[in-house]
Each structure stands twice: as C-alpha cells, then as structure tokens.
C-alpha cells in the first residue's frame, strides 16, 4: 500500500519534470529548433491545427528553420500565425518554403529568458512539493485508520522526502542546463 503511494508520487513527479521540459523547449536559445514552433496553431479549413500537422518543419542550419507546407494555400496562413505568435521572429517566404531566421539574443533578452526559465522551474518545484503533500496526507490517513504503524508512517515520510529531493534536484539540474544554453553565445 505504501509502495503504491510512493510509485504514484514518482509517476506524478515525473509528469512535472516532463511539463518543465516542454516549457523549457518553448524558451528560445538563439539556435534553431523545431520545438520552438510547438505552440503555434494554424487555421486549416476553419479548424485550429498544430503547425506540425500541416507542414514539415526542418532545421536548415544552426540559425534557420525551414517550413514546407503540405498545401500551397497554407503558406499565407502559416506566415500569419508565426507573425501573431510572441516568438519575436520574422518569417521570409520564398515560393512555397518559409524560412525563419533566428535573431541573435541580446544580453537583455537572455536575462528575460533566464527569468522565465527560473519561473518555470519554480512552478515545477511547487508541483513536486504539492504531490509530496498529497501523498503524505494519504500516509497520515492510513496511520490514522490503523492500517499502518507509526514506524511505517515515519519510514514512508522519509522515503517520500527522498523522492521529492531527487525530483527537486532534477529540476535544478534542468534549470542549470537551460541557463547555460541561454548564456551560450
């Protein structure tokens, strides 16, 4: 029963790490990476559709993304969607190929992105701690209902704290890596 709770905590905390990774992918580092465009949706026959569902996104070189729509009329729609996004990039259309040059990051924008990354990391830490709180509450309920002893409760609390510490360390490591990527020139 306690092992089930610990396993549940691990799985939920792993989801927090996955969400953090997805959030970090949306923070631009100055290098071209297709995941930067993950949040962009395009109107495809009246339905909002993910950009990756209507076009092929390729890395042309370290600083340029190339988007090749599967249907020629989508070029204008994709260009509009990219312009409306808050990515701060300007697409250049060449026939049916859209190129997106990634502008160099200034020191000021790097600091803004680092601040954003730190906020995302703190959100992930809060999520991990909330999961710990929930699981510890479940353990206390088990002890209150006399399903486990006080010693088992204490050991479970220690184990859950160790799991939490491991996941918080993973968040810190991911943040450190993202900061290094952002400060790289």
**Contact between residue 98 and residue 79 where contact means Cβ atoms under 8 Å apart:** yes
* pLDDT recorded at residue 177: 92
115 lies in the same domain as 96:
no
The answer on 17 and 48 residing in a single domain is: no
Q: 51 and 15: one domain?
A: no
> What sign for the dihedral angle of Cα 130, 136, 140, 146?
positive
Q: Is the pLDDT of residue 63 over 90?
A: no
Q: Of 101, 130, 152, which residue sits at a domain end?
A: 101
Residue 29 DSSP class? -
The pLDDT value recorded for residue 29 is 67
- Are 74 and 164 in a shared domain? no
CATH number, domain of 91, equals 3.30.1360.40
What's the pLDDT score for residue 117? 92
> Residue 14's pLDDT is what?
94
- pTM of the predicted model as reported, rounded to 2 decimal places: 0.72
Tell me the pLDDT of the chain averaged across its residues. 88
Per residue in 131-160, pLDDT tens?
A: 999 999 999 998 888 888 889 889 999 999
| Last residue of one domain, picked from the residues 101, 121, 141 | 101
Q: pLDDT band at residue 167, thresholds of 50, 70 and 90?
A: very high
Which residue, among 69, 39, 43, has the nearest Cα to 56 in the 3D structure?
A: 69
Say if residue 178 is in the same domain as residue 111. yes
Owning domain of residue 76: 34-101
Q: Is 54 strand, coil or helix?
A: coil
* Contact assessment for residue 130 and residue 164, using Cβ atoms and an 8 Å cutoff: no
Contact 42, 82 (CB under 8 A): no
Same domain, 73 and 163: no
State the pLDDT confidence band at 30, using cuts at 50, 70 and 90: low
Same domain membership, residue 72 and residue 131 = no
Q: Which of 160, 161, 167, 162 lies closest to 128, judged by CA?
A: 167
């Amino acid at each position: 029963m306690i092992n089930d709770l610990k396993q549940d905590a691990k799985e939920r905390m792993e989801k927090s790490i996955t969400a953090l990774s997805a959030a970090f992918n949306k923070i631009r580092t100055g290098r071209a990476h297709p995941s930067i465009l993950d949040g962009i949706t395009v109107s495809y026959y009246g339905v909002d559709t993910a950009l990756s569902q209507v076009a092929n996104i390729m890395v042309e070189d370290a600083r340029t993304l190339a988007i090749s729509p599967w249907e020629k009329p989508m070029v204008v729609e994709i260009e509009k969607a990219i312009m409306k996004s808050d990515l701060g990039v300007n697409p250049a259309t060449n026939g049916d190929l859209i190129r997106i040059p990634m502008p160099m990051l200034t020191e000021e924008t790097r600091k803004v992105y680092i601040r954003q990354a730190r906020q995302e990391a703190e959100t992930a830490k809060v999520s991990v701690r909330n999961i710990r709180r929930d699981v510890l509450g479940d353990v206390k309920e088990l002890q209150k209902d006399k399903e486990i002893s006080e010693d088992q409760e204490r050991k479970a609390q220690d184990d859950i704290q160790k799991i939490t510490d491991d996941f918080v360390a993973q968040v810190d490591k991911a943040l450190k890596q993202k900061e290094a990527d952002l400060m790289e020139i």
